[in-house]
Amino acid sequence: MNYYVLTLFPEMIENGMHTSIIGRAIAGGCLSLETVNIRDYSLTGNGRIDDYPYGGGAGMVMQAEPICRAYEDLVQRIGKRPRVVYLTPQGRVFSQQMAEEFAREQDLIFLCGHYEGIDERVLEEIVTDHVSIGDYVLTGGELPAMVMMDAIARMVPGVLSNRESGQYESFQDGLLEYPQYSRPEEWRGKQVPPVLLSGHHGNVERWRRDQSLLRTLKNRPELLAGAELDKKDRSFLRSLLDETPTGQDGQEPDAGCGTSGTAGMGDGKGLTPEEKKILTKLLAFSEKA
């Protein structure tokens, strides 16, 4: 996978991407990264690439020509026209499915905007994908570009040292990831769930699947509507409706490290009335399908 980033702040991209797993992948040749400073293609030769917007208004707009020059020079060196991702709040919201789609590309260009945006004409000319990482506004496209490159890289063969680590994570199967535990077996009076110590791989996998379902229901219930549920999944979810709700005694939870900050998501099954309502509708729809 070859990343190319058109940016006003190449050092920001370089510093952020040459660390940790992604940095090792670049050093090892699984990924490559090239940043292109748009200022180098300034029309005036002094690095200025913005001007006032037509029609008035606050702020400045990045000009079309410097960006197009930077893009055309890059395309000439690459020898083809790869997909160009423009980071903008107006785009499709980035997801794990999109990361998998982009990971199948050999080359990707990311265009990072600043100020009040980019002249629409160059976007129409070169951009293939408008993508957002969430419904909020940042000062520029560099952070969203790095978020996308990190997520996409995890799908590229050879980037992760353990092949399974890229397969059983949040959103990989439409659900949030199950809870994780490590040594010691007991920490501040809190025990690792016994099933994880049993050595029974089938039971461990079932527990993990159940916990993913439970965690998704509690944190992102809308994801369950698109998840593929089998007979065992539905049986587990139905069993949750018979559990006594937790956290209904009016007690405020302790904020210290010694208490669970996940409302029983590790091994508790209690549901709030609203969660039960959501689950009842989900099961009714799933059983009809």
| Single-letter code of the amino acid located at 252 | E
**Cβ(149)–Cβ(103) under 8 Å?**
no
User: Could you report the per-residue pLDDT of 189-216, keeping only the tens digit for each?
Assistant: 999 999 999 999 999 999 999 999 999 9
DSSP sequence for the chain = -EEEEEES-HHHHHHHHSSHHHHHHHHHTS-EEEEEEGGGG-SSSSS--EEPPTT--SS-EE-HHHHHHHHHHHHHHHTS--EEEEEEEEEEEP-HHHHHHHHT-SEEEEE--BTT-B-HHHHHHH-SEEEESSSS--SBSHHHHHHHHHHHHTTSTTSSSSGGGGTSSTTTTSSPPPP---S-SEETTEEPPGGGGS--HHHHHHHHHHHHHHHHHHH-GGGGGGS---HHHHHHHHHHTTSPPSS-S-PPPP-STTS-SSTTTTT-----HHHHHHHHHHHHHHHH-
**Cβ(144)–Cβ(133) under 8 Å?**
yes
How far apart are the C-alpha atoms of 83 and 241, rounded to whole Å? 47
pTM, 2 dp: 0.83
Per-residue pLDDT, 159: 95
Backbone angles phi, psi at 133, to 5 degrees: -100, 5
State both tokens at 148. 């996308």
User: Could you report the per-residue pLDDT of 119-137, keeping only the tens digit for each?
Assistant: 999 999 999 999 999 999 9
How far apart are the C-alpha atoms of 127 and 124, rounded to whole Å? 6
| Alpha carbon separation from 112 to 5, 115, 147, 241, 250 (Å, rounded) | 7, 11, 12, 47, 48
User: Could you report the per-residue pLDDT of 79-135, keeping only the tens digit for each?
Assistant: 999 999 999 999 999 999 999 999 999 999 999 999 999 999 999 999 999 999 999
Per-residue pLDDT, 248: 39
CA 212 to chain centre: 17
User: Could you report the per-residue pLDDT of 148-187, keeping only the tens digit for each?
Assistant: 999 999 999 999 986 546 555 556 578 999 999 999 999 9
User: Could you report the per-residue pLDDT of 227-285, keeping only the tens digit for each?
Assistant: 999 999 999 999 999 874 444 343 444 545 544 433 344 444 589 999 999 999 999 98
Per-residue pLDDT, 39: 98
The DSSP bridge partners found for residue 111 are 6, 86
User: Could you report the per-residue pLDDT of 230-246, keeping only the tens digit for each?
Assistant: 999 999 999 999 874 44
Looking at residues 3-29, what average pLDDT do you find? 97
Per-residue pLDDT, 264: 42
Per-residue pLDDT, 263: 37
Looking at residues 8-37, what average pLDDT do you find? 97
**Cβ(74)–Cβ(109) under 8 Å?**
yes
Domains of the chain: 2-164 (3.40.1280.10), 176-247+264-288 (1.10.1270.20)
